[in-house]
Amino acid sequence: MRRLILAIGVFCAGWSSVYAQRGNLPSAEFNANTRFEQLGTALPTPNSTRAASGAPGKEYWQQRADYDIKVELDDANQRIIGTETVTYFNHSPDDLPYLWIQLDQNLFKKDAIGATTQLGGVNPQGMSAGQLSKLAGTSTKEYGYNITSIKDAKGNPLHTVTNHTMMRIDLPTPLKPNQSVSFSVEWNYNITEYYGRSGYEFFKDGNYNYFIAHWFPRMAVYDDVNGWQHKQFLGQGEFTVPFGNYKVAITAPSDHIVGATGECQNYSQVLSKTQMDRLNKAKKNFKEPTLIVTQEEAVAAEKNKATGKKTWVFKADNVRDFAFTSSRKFIWDAMMTNVQGKDILCMSYFSKEGNPLWEKYSTQVIAHTLKSYSARTIPYPYPVAISCHATPGGGMEYPMISFNGGRPEPDGTYSESVKYGMIGVIIHEVGHNFFPMIVNSDERQWSWMDEGLNTFCQYLAEQEWDRNYPSRRGEPQYIVDYMKSAPNTQVPIMASSDNIMQFGPNAYAKPATALNILRETVMGRELFDYAFQEYARRWAFKHPTPADFFRTMEDASGVDLDWFWKGWFYGVEPVDQDLAEVEWFAIDAMDPAITKAAQKAADEKKRQTMAVQRNKKDIKQTVVEANPAMNDFYNSYDRYAVTEADKKKYADYLATLSDDERKLLESGKNFYTLSLKNKGGVPMPVILQAKYEDGTTEVFRFPAEIWRMNDVSIKKVIPTDKKVAQWTLDPFLEIADIDTENNSYPRQAAQPTRFQMYKQRQGGSQQPNPMQQQRQGASGAVGGRN
Ligand SMILES: [Zn+2]
């Protein structure tokens, strides 16, 4: 503790503020930082299509593509054979001499850019036959689109040029603004094994489950930001697709059950009377799912293969894509749910391999997800929502339909992690209906705009499902391992989808965590929730960009967040605050009765040097001790006694003070000067907890702007009535601080790092480090892509 002489009368406001500034800027550590300057030219200039507020501008426009498709699923050969008529509406102010079409299936051609630029060597530990056949190029089947005809509305062939996964159709005359053009395409392709986004899963019983997506030639997006968005499909960067209306007739083996984006138009033609009755019953049950196809019936169906065909007709309006699923192995259940006054049919399609998990949870999780997300964004606008069980891990989203992992062991047992993984992936993929299916961002360019926002909402929906849900992303502490990783293995969140390293932590976990921190710590729930919802309202059924999101979050909340976007979205620096030193001051009471007694106590506590201790034993004060008269006089003087002169001086001093000044003098307040360092780089709010000597605690919160004059090293004074025994920085783990050992003052005793003792194995190979494996699991994309 240091005593502070109260300099009464010198605290004029001007002087004190100058003093405070200088006190904050120790010259050696002063850093003229720009972290709180505006983003400026990093954001595009607002214009009539995209306003400075982050809302769509007065002249906002977007294109539209309608599809009328007939497709046959050839189960015997695992092929898709389709024809489509596309009607493309030009709402742009531009003449379009050509159109760009996405040919996503060409990702699986041998010469695809995504295939030929794959890196990595042979794994000496061993590789699967599939991996090897891919490396060796020995696959017997050809994959990718086989396009057999492209014709205009009159039936005349159109000239086209294919550039890998993109195809240009040259129009005979440019498509004028506010006009539309129709053309038709015929194609077929071999379906790949499920690769995380689409394909088939083959079972030992000889049957296939199909999950069919990006299966038809579809329009690329033409917009005010990129013109044509025709970045190649390399596998990692997802899809950029315009809205439109779809009518799709799917012909499948007559014993298949088909589920798809949109509403089926002809259930009465494709379902049995029993199935129709069950479906109608399901449409009245808002409590639990009703089975339309039971497990018994599904198991019976997988024993034979029907020779006939059935055609299922689906319609979907204002969607950005269309996907479907088909199998004779499917169990099918359905339940109605009401979301903000609208009835929505929730359905699950799964083979017996998914049970008992799937019949218990899938459809209930769909309904929960729609309610949770709708409350934070916009009410779910579509009539159905579907979850299908595709392969053990991962998940993939399409409008109204998603393909999800989460599979028990063959004997029906399952671990907690499989159960929570399944519920989490269904929440995530159903949640994608909102981002990017409705709030239709450019996934090929910005992975975080759908994955990050969706993972944030997923975290909230998981906690609403089960207050103890072991969410693996969202909480600041879970991003620490990633933020600690070497800067040359990280890219900013604002990186192109195809160039992102550490994809799961970068595109999912970090933006989700950043939003959680905004909500809990930077903005507060009320300001954040309104702004986030306003973003969804503004951009539902439109194409937002990052700037539209950043601007809306500030525009609707009144919080300047440019420093936060810079730190969390444009950079790779971590957060590391260090509580380097705490100095304790108290006002000198000036009362001689107090100060002299305190001096006495302090002197008595003084540590004695070794020499003094020895002198006490060894040395005789020969003159004084030999002379009793001298001894009495010599030792009767009390240097701690309060003299009349002391009292008068104190009384004179008190007479100069006002009542308020006197109260302050007698308050006994403690003043703690905390020295804080920003070691990580990203400035964040400072949250400090004082634990007082009596065991009670108090929390002091300072906004991130505390770093605006100096982002390296600051001092902050905190006055307290009680004495502080322990200071703790970030006591509730809110800011993703990568080093919490420098967050206590006095420093806490170090915790040991646990390591395992192992016996040398024969051959000398080491056991894998279980800690390291766990780490990777905690921050990586467990269970594959979703
Ligand atoms: Zn996702």
State in Å: Cα 433 to ligand 1 middle. 10
pLDDT at 31: 58
The DSSP H or E segment spanning 101 is: strand 96-102
State in Å: Cα 686 to ligand 1 middle. 32
Question: Which residues, 6 or more positions from 413, have their beta carbon under 8 angstroms from its beta carbon?
Answer: none
Exposure on the CB side of residue 720, measured as CA atoms within 13 A: 25
State in Å: Cα 456 to ligand 1 middle. 11
State in Å: Cα 428 to ligand 1 middle. 6
- DSSP code of residue 391: S
Through-space distance between the first and last CA atoms of the chain, rounded to whole angstroms: 56
Pairing between strand 744-745 and 697-702?
unpaired
Q: Is 214 left (phi over 0), alpha (psi -120 to 50) or beta?
A: left
State in Å: Cα 573 to ligand 1 middle. 25
How much is the average pLDDT of 714-743?
96
User: Is residue 784's pLDDT more than 50?
Assistant: no
Give the pair of three-digit tokens for residue 250: 């799917």
State in Å: Cα 504 to ligand 1 middle. 10
Residues 83-104 have pLDDT tens digits of: 999 999 999 999 999 999 999 9
State in Å: Cα 353 to ligand 1 middle. 24
State in Å: Cα 447 to ligand 1 middle. 9
Q: How far apart are CA 580 and CA 582, in angstroms?
A: 7
State in Å: Cα 748 to ligand 1 middle. 40
Per-residue confidence at 389, pLDDT binned at 50, 70, 90? Answer: very high
State in Å: Cα 230 to ligand 1 middle. 21
Q: How far apart are CA 711 and CA 161, in angstroms?
A: 54
Per-residue confidence at 13, pLDDT binned at 50, 70, 90? Answer: very low
pLDDT at 30: 52
Residues 679-693 have pLDDT tens digits of: 999 999 999 999 999
Residues 420-473 have pLDDT tens digits of: 999 999 999 999 999 999 999 999 999 999 999 999 999 999 999 999 999 999
Q: Give CA 213 to chain center in angstroms.
A: 25
Helix (H, G, I), strand (E, B) or coil at 462: helix
Question: Which residues, 6 or more positions from 485, have their beta carbon under 8 angstroms from its beta carbon?
Answer: 502
State in Å: Cα 259 to ligand 1 middle. 21
State in Å: Cα 256 to ligand 1 middle. 28
- Give the whole-number percent of the chain exceeding pLDDT 90: 79
State in Å: Cα 106 to ligand 1 middle. 22
State in Å: Cα 81 to ligand 1 middle. 29
Question: Which residues, 6 or more positions from 268, have their beta carbon under 8 angstroms from its beta carbon?
Answer: 276
Q: Give CA 542 to chain center in angstroms.
A: 22
Q: What angle do CA 727, 730, 732 make, to 5 degrees?
A: 110
Burial class (CB in 10 A: 0-12, 13-18, 19+), 276: middle
State in Å: Cα 786 to ligand 1 middle. 4
pLDDT at 9: 34
State in Å: Cα 450 to ligand 1 middle. 7
Residues with CB under 5 A from ligand 1 (ion): 451, 786
Q: How far apart are CA 291 and CA 359, in angstroms?
A: 9
Amino acid at 526: E
Q: Give CA 507 to chain center in angstroms.
A: 7
- pTM higher than 0.85: yes
State in Å: Cα 455 to ligand 1 middle. 7
User: How far from 469 is each of 130, 405, 424, CA to CA, in Å?
Assistant: 36, 18, 9
